[in-house]
Structure 1
Amino acid sequence: MIITKFVDFEAGSPQFRIKEHKGEGAKTYSYYSQTDIVNDLITIPFIEEDHKQVTTTGNVVLVEEGDLIFSLISGKCAIAQTYSSGYLLTQNYVKLRIKGGIDKKYLMYLINEDKKIARQFQASMQGSITMKYTVKQLRELDLKNLPSIEIQEKIGDIYTKQLRKQALKERLAKNETLLILEKLKEVNEHE
């Protein structure tokens, strides 16, 4: 079954059409980035960055909590978290709006992890000089043999919990290393 049976697509705002404007009614937006998609995927703001911003009165596509976002740069998909809400979505990202028949977390799992989906992307990129994904590739994805919605929900739930658990373990290991290095520095300075 083709993905368009389950999903509508909304591309982000083309950056070249966003005109900087600081007059009355202008709003300042932070750009959604690759760092944000990684943080949304693991459901915690793990990596921090200074966001590029733009002030404009133009109509722009914004991230809303719960949006399923696909990165045309990395080919990864994530569900936007509260801390990403209100960020400006550029043409490097696409919102996938579920129409029904598929669980959002399960679709994220399929796009990120399924080898059949990966092969479809690779086949459509052969001969391409740039390694950027396209909305056309997304629209043509064939989702074969979907399990029941109950099984989809279980797989999606386990997948998101495992990603979060892995990120927390990595954060713990990093913090332990920083703590030990600080202690070693103190000991070294006292000798």
Structure 2
Amino acid sequence: MEKLSKFVEFVSGSPQSRLFVSMNESDPSYCIYGQSELKADLVQSETASNEGRQIRTPDKVMILSEGDIIFYLVSGEASVVGKKHVGYLQTQNFIKLIPNQDLDAHYLVFLLNQDHNIKRQLVSSLQGTMVIKYTLAQLKALRINKLPPIDEQRLIGRMYFNQIRLNWFRKQSADLKLKIAMNQLRKD
């Protein structure tokens, strides 16, 4: 087993509480990347909600690009940033993960979200704490099993994302069918 830090560079987000909030219209405005954006990126949803929080600041901030791998320190979930969230502000609750050439991005997300060994390490590192929030140090210290060949990683990573998207479509379909049935019952 090797440390995740051997394969990944970690970039912390901007500390939101330290940003100067400006009312000056000439200062850039940023949408803040949050849990709902992470969930949408995980299912590769093409719809973007405009309900998210925004901040206007002249400060230098960390912004996200399409394809960035992001890890949410609060939930312990990872995803790949989609087109709809390009330019969003990355807060200190998120860590950007930059894998080297030996680790496929989608496979990395699969490992962080599904690998029982990693989940066990994350949970055991929280024992005795009242607030459930992971740290950058805990993430860097994760140990992973020997990586499969890169082609196999790509296949597993793509299958993982396709399965999540398929499950999301099935849930959307079931929700719509229920809504239609309830509307029919109201009419009768």
TM-score, normalising length: structure 1: 0.93
C-alpha distance in structure 2 between counterparts of 1:184 and 1:87, whole Å = 43
Aligned residue-pair number: 187
Q: Output the CA distance in 2 between the equivalents of 1:133 and 1:49.
A: 28
CA distance in 1, matches of 2:25, 2:173: 46
Mapped to 2, the partners of 1:8 and 1:23 lie a distance apart of 35
Task: After superposition, give the CA deviation of every residue in 1:89-143 in whole Å (9 maximum; x if it has no partner).
Answer: 1110010011221111111000000000011112211111211011111101111
CA deviation profile, 1:119-174 (whole Å, cap 9, x unmatched): 11122111112110111111011111211111111110110000000000100111
CA distance in 1 between partners of 2:47 and 2:159 (Å): 20
Q: Unaligned 5+ residue runs, structure 2?
A: none
3-state SS of paired residue (2:146)? coil
Q: Which runs of 4+ in 1 moved over 4 A?
A: 45-49
Show the counterpart of 1:66: 67
Match of 2:186 in 1: 185
- Mark the structure with the bigger radius of gyration: 1
Identity %: 34
Residue of structure 1 equivalent to 2:85: 84
Asked if residue 137 in structure 1 is aligned to residue 138 in structure 2, the reply is yes
Q: CA RMSD in A?
A: 1.4
Q: Structure 2 CA distance, aligned partners of 1:110 and 1:99?
A: 15
Is this contact kept in 2: 1:3–1:140, CA < 8 A? yes
Partner of 2:156: 155
Deviations 1:2-57 (A, max 9, x none): 11111111111101111111326401111111111111111115684611111111
Name the SS of the counterpart of 1:183 in structure 2: helix
Provide the TM-score with structure 2 as the length reference. Answer: 0.94
